[in-house]
Structure 1
């Protein structure tokens, strides 16, 4: 491949100013068709202003004729290039001396001619040349450098390993180098002169050079051709493995299209590294500044931001008066969402809460996320204003609405504690609002509580109780109390419900109402469930070892226990001859959409463990949900049982539940049975299992054995 062919079809790349002109025939005037960035910079002109102009327009009028004559003589003598010095004229009228190196390249397809000119500013050299012989030597040295640079440039083009290719005006392959062939195919012979551009691209696609074309070759080729045929020059960077290239695509006046990939890795390497370093520094500074004051997940302020804003509000209060209220928010059931639906769902809920807070607060209010699911809002207000309480109630209502995540509802609520000046010192606002929050959660959750000084005493008492619960777990003080379940038609004991009791060393036997709320708050309710299960199974298996049958046992199970990853393995290690049932409150059974819980349901059934819905009628169960989840038994909420002898409505409600159970082949237990009249009514309704004080209160195992002995009742396994 001749270097003249290359030069005639792509612009020379060099650090000097370079331009290309084209003259279609001897009678026509030449026009500039391409200039590089250095050329535009040297002549202080826009590229669009230069293109189309006579190439002689950049030379001073006094020397233009001489230059044209030199060019004509060189062309007549058959020279392909010549070099001369001339005075050049910039766009702004300033002048400078330049060395001009010009290549004359015939257009083999016609009578036209290309000229490639390389210009180097030698203005300083000319000035020095006029003053001293040293300037002449320096000039000659400069010329030698220019010629050497040109020689190296030509040599580099001839031996380049960078792909370049030329297609003619009819989009046929004209010139290509081995590097281009290798970039398109493993078999260079597949590329032949005259191939259509579309066929060349198809070869590349067939040989796996363009992964993005797989499966859509025709559309991909059409897109590439459309881009190629737009007729405008384009330049872009291309990264391949560890090298970087400048890709130049251009269209010559004769219609030829040229593509050249030039390796500029070394040239750009240092600049790119400096740029990356500067960007990393800037990004790091921004991240540090943002993280210092903001929560990464929600974008709200963090605790440091909150303290800063509180200090500002205190200063404004001292200067202008008014009061400050701190609203401490904590999400109810957030841990269950994290445990059962995953942290992605929890993060989604937190972001939704943050958005809800933003739209409901005033610009002068301050909001921050201070912990996992805790937020604090600072509200400046007037003295005796009820704005903080009104805002808190609105937030409780707004943040009680479920949030959809990946097609599933995340149900949660919000408890809020309020502390405000002047009742509380400014410096104690955050601590006191936290205490009020604890009071709100202890009073039933999804509540608003306002701090008063008695709350500190309650907080300390609950802290002592929590510590006592942990100690009690360590010493095995939590035991089972058994309440019999009776078949009202045979009067047989068909099982016992094992209920939690705490054998406190000082306070005696404590009921769940004395400790379960605090146990749930410190997240050990699941451990208490496990302790009751282990203790009941072990002592009943031992106590009834010599009997024909052991009693059936049912246990209350908290949500925390249901999502415990050790639940199945814990239950599986206890062999118990009787039937074991787990009682779950209605909201867990029907409303919790946790895949973990439902997987545990399936595993429990596979183990032969029965599932019962406790407190049925207190939640939002539907017939569809009952059919889908198919529990083994429904336990009617005691609040529906108590009025059945006095209220026709209550009686009809219980009758409906029993009928539903019978229709769906689900057993029905009535709890809270206290009178013979209630027993009679439930017998008439067809309820097959009763439990309540009418038969017996919950008893420790020793009392159960005496109870059985006194009654002499048979037991059904």
Structure 2
């Protein structure tokens, strides 16, 4: 009864006979539909799954050979075609007559097998998921520590590695090279971001090829790389490595059918490992100096560079505040007709009323303004103040002459420039914009040319400043069509002693006349200069022999003396032999 309840079948096999004794439960397990006690052994063999026949027979034969315990698990195919798993166990014995026999039991373990299979599958799935999670975690960690484009370590990894090296007793010295690719923006702009990506990938490979296995290179910005070098013995060794990297990066990069040209600026810093906490910042200071000195070079950090940079940054901060406080003001230098010596214009020159240092000339701050991107703001501040001063003079009953105001290339390229200028309601022909010669080349920027054309339509004249000091071409001059150009003071200075310089100035005047462009000579420091320049055909003169840069009030006094002598009579003789109107050589109280 217990066996029936447990659904365990019992069998007995006398090995010398071809028949097996089965109980009723065995018939139920095999679904024979029979109840007879004796069953042919072929019933068992025929029921075995074809894939399990060989193993099942081998296991039974093994038990016979050993006359021991038989233990097997196999599949059978029921008459309905269903596959079931059975487990069979038996013991060898010999009967009273010495006949070898096995008596055993079988039961259905299909549910157990399927459950174990499912558990195994689930375990395999769980293990696969664990492996996938570990791989995903590793990928995430790698992505968090590496640049996706070049595969190099990023700033996060670099900082951690630098800290590890500083703590390593085997590391005696550390050096950092801060590398910035030159002309990278131009490559992106001209050939697109795909070319930029190729450039960065090539740079990564070339830098990596220049350093030892213990060293490391990381990409820390758009076109910035940082190299950390271990146990560098001398500054010469560091320079050799930096120069090698520089040489490698100068080589052209193939992009399709084009060859991309790129260079690099490198800042280097070096110290004992225990004092290397500021190496990255120090190398950045040196990099700034390398770019400042013309790029495509290596510069080493020094304490003086640090102090100079701090002073520049402080000055830049003060300049930003000065723009808010309206401390940037124009001083005006007069321009006169070369023949009549009458005032025909003014040039507005930037000055800074510094609250502590007093009046600062442009040499004290314009370079910093350019380096820190404040030139356009300075230009705008001067223009706004010029328009205010001009309106003030008009309210005083004076007729302000044309006023020339400098405009930087960055401001001239501003897409919003014209809208801003229109909002100022600038009177027509009241203002001229001076462009330095280097703004226009053989191929001026289309946006710049469009802005210049719009400026002209507003009645603002265009002048070229410092003509002859750079590399502007006649083609650029024709494209720009300025109202006038100003001959650079370097060409003017020597005309009193050099026939060659006089001929050169004369040639510039002839070219300008051919293009219907007026000519103003800068740097007129003596009466001899003025006379020779007038003879050469210059239309206007400007310089210390004509007048010094002066404040708004001083210019008001000068204009009053010229335009309204009844209100302000000034003796021409008291000003020296200054020409027909007596203002040539006008000196400012601040000059």
| TM-score using structure 1 length | 0.55
What are structure 2's unaligned runs of at least 5 residues? 1-41, 57-74, 90-103, 111-124, 564-580, 584-591
1:578-615 deviation per Cα after TM superposition (whole angstroms, max 9, x unaligned): 43222222333337865543443343233232333333
SS at match of 2:516: coil
2:275 match: 425
1:377 match: 227
1:506 match: 356
1:395-435 deviation per Cα after TM superposition (whole angstroms, max 9, x unaligned): 66887899999999999985543221259922232232233
1:483-562 matches, within 5 Å, as 483-545=333-395, 547=397, 549-562=399-412
1:18-37 matches, within 5 Å, as none
C-alpha contact 1:418 1:450 (8 A) present in aligned 2: yes
1:173-203 deviation per Cα after TM superposition (whole angstroms, max 9, x unaligned): xxxxxxxxxxxxxxxxxxxxxxxxxxxxxxx
Within the candidate set 264, 288, 301, 2:153 is matched to 301
> Matched residues in 1 for 2:233 and 2:180: separation?
26
1:352 match: 199
> Matched residues in 2 for 1:300 and 1:479: separation?
50
C-alpha contact 2:331 2:549 (8 A) present in aligned 1: yes
SS at match of 2:350: strand
2:549 match: 698
Larger deviation, residues 490-499 vs 444-453: 444-453
What is the aligned residue count? 477
2:539 match: 688
What are structure 1's unaligned runs of at least 5 residues? 1-62, 64-84, 102-118, 139-272
1:602-638 deviation per Cα after TM superposition (whole angstroms, max 9, x unaligned): 4323323233333333433333333334344333333
Greater RCO (CA < 8 Å, at least 6 residues apart): 2
> Matched residues in 1 for 2:53 and 2:475: separation?
86
1:462 match: 312
C-alpha contact 1:297 1:351 (8 A) present in aligned 2: no
Q: CA RMSD in A?
A: 5.0
> Matched residues in 2 for 1:414 and 1:86: separation?
82
1:321-370 deviation per Cα after TM superposition (whole angstroms, max 9, x unaligned): 5x432223456798x979x969x968965873563354145132533333
> Matched residues in 2 for 1:616 and 1:410: separation?
33
1:198 match: none
1:42-57 matches, within 5 Å, as none
Deviation of residue 98 (structure 1)? Answer: 4.9
1:436 match: 286
SS at match of 1:665: coil
SS at match of 1:590: coil
SS at match of 2:549: coil
Q: 1:363 to 1:527 in 2, by over 3 A?
A: same
> Matched residues in 2 for 1:597 and 1:409: separation?
28
C-alpha contact 1:98 1:121 (8 A) present in aligned 2: yes
C-alpha contact 1:485 1:690 (8 A) present in aligned 2: yes
2:118 match: none
SS at match of 1:601: helix
Confirm whether residue 285 of structure 1 aligns to residue 137 of structure 2.
Answer: yes
> Matched residues in 2 for 1:122 and 1:605: separation?
97
SS at match of 2:545: coil
C-alpha contact 1:301 1:369 (8 A) present in aligned 2: yes
Deviation of residue 502 (structure 1)? Answer: 0.2
Larger deviation, residues 491-500 vs 617-626: 617-626
1:52-97 deviation per Cα after TM superposition (whole angstroms, max 9, x unaligned): xxxxxxxxxxx9xxxxxxxxxxxxxxxxxxxxx9877559977975
C-alpha contact 1:300 1:354 (8 A) present in aligned 2: no
> Matched residues in 2 for 1:378 and 1:696: separation?
57
Within the candidate set 238, 252, 277, 1:388 is matched to 238
> Matched residues in 1 for 2:288 and 2:539: separation?
43
1:575 match: 425
1:217-256 matches, within 5 Å, as none
SS at match of 1:619: coil
C-alpha contact 1:350 1:373 (8 A) present in aligned 2: no
C-alpha contact 1:478 1:502 (8 A) present in aligned 2: yes
> Matched residues in 2 for 1:412 and 1:493: separation?
50
1:474 match: 324
Deviation of residue 538 (structure 1)? Answer: 1.2
C-alpha contact 1:302 1:369 (8 A) present in aligned 2: yes
SS at match of 1:697: coil
Q: 1:383 to 1:402 in 2, by over 3 A?
A: closer
> Matched residues in 2 for 1:550 and 1:406: separation?
59
Q: 1:501 to 1:359 in 2, by over 3 A?
A: same
Larger deviation, residues 693-702 vs 501-510: 693-702
Larger deviation, residues 355-364 vs 691-700: 355-364
C-alpha contact 1:349 1:410 (8 A) present in aligned 2: no
Confirm whether residue 589 of structure 1 aligns to residue 468 of structure 2.
Answer: no
Confirm whether residue 609 of structure 1 aligns to residue 460 of structure 2.
Answer: yes
> Matched residues in 2 for 1:398 and 1:586: separation?
34
Larger deviation, residues 384-393 vs 553-562: 384-393
> Matched residues in 2 for 1:493 and 1:311: separation?
67
1:672 match: 523
1:290-329 matches, within 5 Å, as 290-296=142-148, 299-311=151-163, 313-314=165-166, 318-319=169-170, 321=172, 323-329=173-179
SS at match of 2:147: coil
> Matched residues in 2 for 1:455 and 1:685: separation?
47
C-alpha contact 2:251 2:261 (8 A) present in aligned 1: yes
Q: 1:632 to 1:388 in 2, by over 3 A?
A: farther
Larger radius of gyration: 2
Within the candidate set 684, 693, 708, 2:559 is matched to 708
C-alpha contact 1:341 1:594 (8 A) present in aligned 2: no
> Matched residues in 2 for 1:644 and 1:99: separation?
120
Q: 1:288 to 1:428 in 2, by over 3 A?
A: same
> Matched residues in 2 for 1:689 and 1:454: separation?
45
Q: 1:120 to 1:667 in 2, by over 3 A?
A: farther
Deviation of residue 684 (structure 1)? Answer: 4.0
Deviation of residue 480 (structure 1)? Answer: 0.5
> Matched residues in 1 for 2:452 and 2:189: separation?
16
SS at match of 2:346: strand
Deviation of residue 516 (structure 1)? Answer: 1.8
Deviation of residue 500 (structure 1)? Answer: 0.8
